Chain A
Amino acid sequence: SAPVQVQLVVPVAVVFSSGSVPGDLPSPLPFRDVQEMEISVNLRTSVTSRYEMAYRATTAQEEAALAMATAREADAALRRLQDVSMGSLTMYVVPETSSLLPQGTSIYVGRHRSALVRAGGSLAALHTHLRQVTQVMSFTATSIAAALSDRVPDGRLSPDARRSLKSSLGYEITFSLLNPDPKSHAVDWDIEGAVNRYVKPVLDKLSLVANFSVDSQILYYAVLGVTPRYDKESSSFLLSAHSLPHVINPVEARLGSSAASLYPVLNFLLYVPERSHSPLYIQDKDGAPVSTNAFHSPRWGGIMVYNVEAPASPHASLPLHVDVDMARVMEVFLAQLRLLFGLSREELPPEFLLESPGNEGLADWELDHLLWSHTVENIATVSTTLTSLAQLLDKIGNIVIKDDVASEVYRAVASVQSAVSKLAMGHLHSAFQASKEAVTSSERAFFDPSLLHLLYFPDDQKFAIYIPLFLPMAVPILLSLAKIVRETRQHKKEPTKMD
C-alpha cells in the first residue's frame, strides 16, 4: 500500500476563568503552545497529530456564561459567544471549587465543541485532563488505526476497530416491520411521522458526512430462523445470545434493496413476535434479559423485538390492534445507528460527564470525530487506489487510457493534495469535502469499464497464431526477393550484352 504521511492539526483554545489560573504557568496569559504526537500505523503510514493550544483568560461575557446554574445552561450560553469552526475545540477551565460540575466529575463535555474542565491545582494535572478531553473530542490513536484498518497488520486491531461502517458517499436506510402473525396482530406503525420527527434531525446533522436515503416496508409471515426457548420462571420466551447470529440470514433473503443505488444499506428491523411466542426477550451472555430488547450487527443494521401486551381478557377478538410506540422504537434504532457509525460513549473514565445530544442524535464534536476518521480513511483509500492503478498501467503496457479517465486521475491527485494541505492548516470541513471529491474521482478512474485488460498474450500463443498465418505467405515472397537480389548482382557483374 502506498505511503501516507498526514498531519492533523486541531486548533484548541484553553480559556482560564478567574480563580482557576494555575500558579506554575510557563509564561503570562495569553500565550501559545504546540503539542505534537505521532501515530504510526505501519512502516509506511504515519499520522502526526498537532494540537495548537492557545491559552487565554475569559472575557467578561464568558464569565457571565460560566456563572450560570448548571453546566448545560453554561454550555448553551457559551455556544452563542463562540465562533468555532469545525474541527477546533474550546476548553474552559473552571476553579476547583466550582459548583458547575457535580461532585466527582472533573470534565464536562457539552453538545457543541466546548468542554468544562476542573482546575487540578498544578499545570501538569491540567495538561493530563486537557489531553484526554481533546483526544476524546477529536480523534485517538485507536480511531485513526480503525480508519486505516486495512493497513494495520492483522491481530493488532482491537475488535471495536472493525465495527464501524466504511466511509461512503451515501447510505441507504431501510426500516422494516416484520409481522409473522398477521392473524393475531394487526400492527400499525406511523413510520413516516417517526422518520420526520426523530430520524430527519439526525440525518440532517449527518448530511455533511454522506447522502442518506430512507425507505420503509412491512413484511408479513417473515419468521426468525431460530425457535425461542420457553422459560418457566419468567413465563416468557427467550432468545439466547449465541443463537442471535443465525437470526439474520433467513430474514435477509426477503428484505430486498433498492435497485438503483449502490450505496451500503443499513437495515433496521422491528419484529413483533407471534402470539404463541409472546413475550419474547433477548438474553445477553450472562443470561439476563436485555433492557432494549435489541441487537445489532456491524456494517449491517439492527433488530429490535417489540412485545405486544397480552389482552386483558382471553376472549378478545383477533386480530389485536397494535399501535407501535415509535418514540421508544426510534430511541433504540438511533442508538444503533450511532453505534454502527462508531460513535460509542461507553469506554470513558468515570470522571467524564457527557451531555446528551438530544434529538439531534449526535453532538458537534462527535460529528467532527466522524469527519476526522472519514477524511483520513478517504485519503488513505485514494492513495492506495491511485498507486495500484499506476502499477496496473505499468505492468500491462498496452491498455489505452481514455481522456476522461486521465482527467479523473488528475482531479483525484489535485483533490487529495488539497485535502492533505487543508488538514495541515486545521480546516476540517474543506479537507473533508476535498477528500470526498478525491475518492469519487479515483473510484471512477479505477473502476472505469474500459480498463479491462483481456490483452494477455503469452509468447507461445503469439507464435501459435501468427506463424501459420504469415509463414506460407512469406515463403514465396522471400524466395522471390532472394532471386531478385541474385539477378541484380549478376547483372552488375556482367556488363549488359546488347544483342
Chain B
Amino acid sequence: VCTSRFWFNYRHVANTLSVYRSVKRLGIPDSHIVLMLADDMACNPRNPKPATVFSHKNMELNVYGDDVEVDYRSYEVTVENFLRVLTGRIPPSTPRSKRLLSDDRSNILIYMTGHGGNGFLKFQDSEEITNVELADAFEQMWQKRRYNELLFIIDTCQGASMYERFYSPNIMALASSQVGEDSLSHQPDLGIGVHLMDRYTFYVLEFLEEIHPASQTNMNDLFQVCPKSLCVSTPGHRTDLFQRDPRNVLITDFFGSVRKVEITAETVALDRGLAAFESKFPEDELATEPLKYAEQLPVAQIIHQKPKQKDWHPPGGFILGLWALIIMVFFKTYGIKHMKHVF
C-alpha cells in the first residue's frame, strides 16, 4: 500500500512498486496481490520520463513496466477501502481482484509506506489510520481465521508506533524507525528532481535481490537489514506475538510462494463403455426470453423531469435550542427595547 499522492512523494510509489516487483519475482501471482497506489507518478506532467517510475539513480531500473496490476488506484486508496479489504466487509459487487480471498492457511505480507506520525499513518493527505484501528482490523481477521501468519512491514516516520498496539496472535512486524525518529530518503535523482527511494526499503530490496524461490534465508537476517549506520534511523521489529521462532521462519514463507505438493498415487477405475450420463437432477429448463438491452438509465425521463420537491423539515432540536439560548441571553443582557430594531 502506498498512502501518499503528489509528485514530491515519488519515492513512496517507487518503494511500493519495487517491493511488488520482488514479490512477483519470487513467485506470488497477481491474483494473490492487492496493490494500492495513488498512481499519479508515471503520467504526471512533471515527470521528465513519462510512463516510467525509476527506483535507482541514473534511471537504471524502471519498476513501472507493462506487468503492473494496480487494484486500487488514485482516490480509491482510502482508509475505508483498506480496512474493507483486510476485514472482508466488501460490497458484493467488488470483483475478485480487489478482494483478499485468504483463508486459515494463508500467510499474508502487508507493506505500507507513506507519511506517518506517532500512532497514525496519513492516507492521501486527507485522512489517517490509527494504530488502534489497524490492530482491531487484524483482530477481526484473526477471528475469522483470514490468515495463518502475518508479516507487517512499514516504512514511514515513527513507524514503530504503528505496531505497538497489535494483540492478535501470529503477527510479526518490522518498521523503519522508532517513535520520535524520522525515516530518511535515500538518493535524489538530479534528472527527475525528486528522491527516488527511502533508505530502509532500498536496503531491504538489496537484501531481497539475493533471495530466490528455493532459498533458505530466515527472518533473523531480515531484522539485521539497514543498521543505524546506513539508515540513520533505528529499524525495529516485534516478534512476541509470533508463535514460531524467527530463526525458523523462511523469507520465502512470506515473500515468495512455495506450495506443498503430493504425488498422486491413486487412480479411479472408470468404466469407459458407459453411454453419456443422464443427470439425476435434470437442469431446469427455464423459459428464457431473448435477451435485450435493459433500460438502466432512462435518460429521456430524467431530462424532462420536474425537480423533486424536497420535503421541508423543521430545524433539529439542538440547533433550535442553541439559537433560543443565544437570543434570550442577548435580549436579557441588552434589554427588550432593542427588539424594535429587529422588526
Binding site for B on A (CB under 8 A): 149-150, 154, 162-163, 166, 193, 196-198, 200-201, 204, 207, 241, 244-246, 248-250, 252-253, 256-259, 262, 282, 284, 290-292, 294-300, 302, 304, 327, 330-332, 334-336, 338-339, 344-346, 356-359, 361, 384-385, 388, 391-392, 446-449, 451-454, 456, 458, 476-477, 480-481, 483-484
Contact = CB atoms under 8 A, between A and B. Distances in A.
B259 A245 contact: yes
B84 A284 contact: no
Contacts of A154: 243
A458 B279 contact: no
Contacts of A196: 276-277
A427 B90 CA distance: 36
8 contacts: A150-B104, A248-B259, A249-B259, A290-B263, A302-B264, A384-B143, A453-B136, A454-B80
A296 B262 contact: yes
Interface string B324-343: 01100110110000000000
B267 A385 contact: no
Interface of B: 27-31, 79-80, 83-84, 87-91, 95-96, 99, 101, 103-105, 130, 132-133, 136, 140, 143-145, 213-214, 243, 257-272, 274, 276-277, 279-281, 325-326, 329-330, 332-333
Contact of A197 (B104, B268, B276): B276
A245 B143 contact: no
Contacts of A245: 258-261
Contact of B274 (A150, A197, A477): A197
B277 A200 contact: yes
Nearest to A249: B27
Contacts of A300: 259
Contacts of B136: 453, 456
Contacts of B257: 249
A246 B214 contact: yes
A189 B186 CA distance: 55
Contacts of B280: 204
Nearest to A444: B92
B29 A197 contact: no
B332 A484 contact: yes
Contacts of A345: 266
B213 to A, nearest CB: 6
A449 B91 contact: yes
Secondary structure of the B contact surface, majority rule: loop
Top-8 shortest CB links A-B: A388-B143, A249-B27, A253-B29, A480-B329, A294-B264, A334-B268, A331-B267, A335-B266
Contacts of B277: 196-197, 200-201, 204
A458 B263 contact: no
A3 B118 CA distance: 39
A297 B260 contact: yes
Contacts of B96: 257-259, 262
A480 B331 CA distance: 10
A252 to B, nearest CB: 5
Nearest to B326: A477
B188 to A, nearest CB: 35
A154 B31 CA distance: 28
A257 to B, nearest CB: 7
Contact of A456 (B27, B99, B132, B265): B132
A455 B144 CA distance: 21
Contacts of A259: 95-96
Contact of A335 (B267, B329, B333): B267
Contacts of B84: 449, 452
Contact of B266 (A346, A391, A480): A346
Contact of B270 (A193, A257, A292, A327): A327
A241 B144 contact: no
Given A249-B257, A454-B133, A282 B89 contact: no
Contacts of B103: 166, 299
A388 B90 CA distance: 18
B243 A452 contact: no
A127 B325 CA distance: 87
Contacts of A197: 274, 276-277
Contacts of A201: 277
Given A338-B268, A358-B271, A388 B144 contact: yes
A253 B24 CA distance: 10
B333 A484 contact: yes
B105 to A, nearest CB: 7
Contact of B279 (A204, A252, A481): A204
A295 B333 contact: no
B132 A477 contact: no
A61 to B, nearest CB: 26
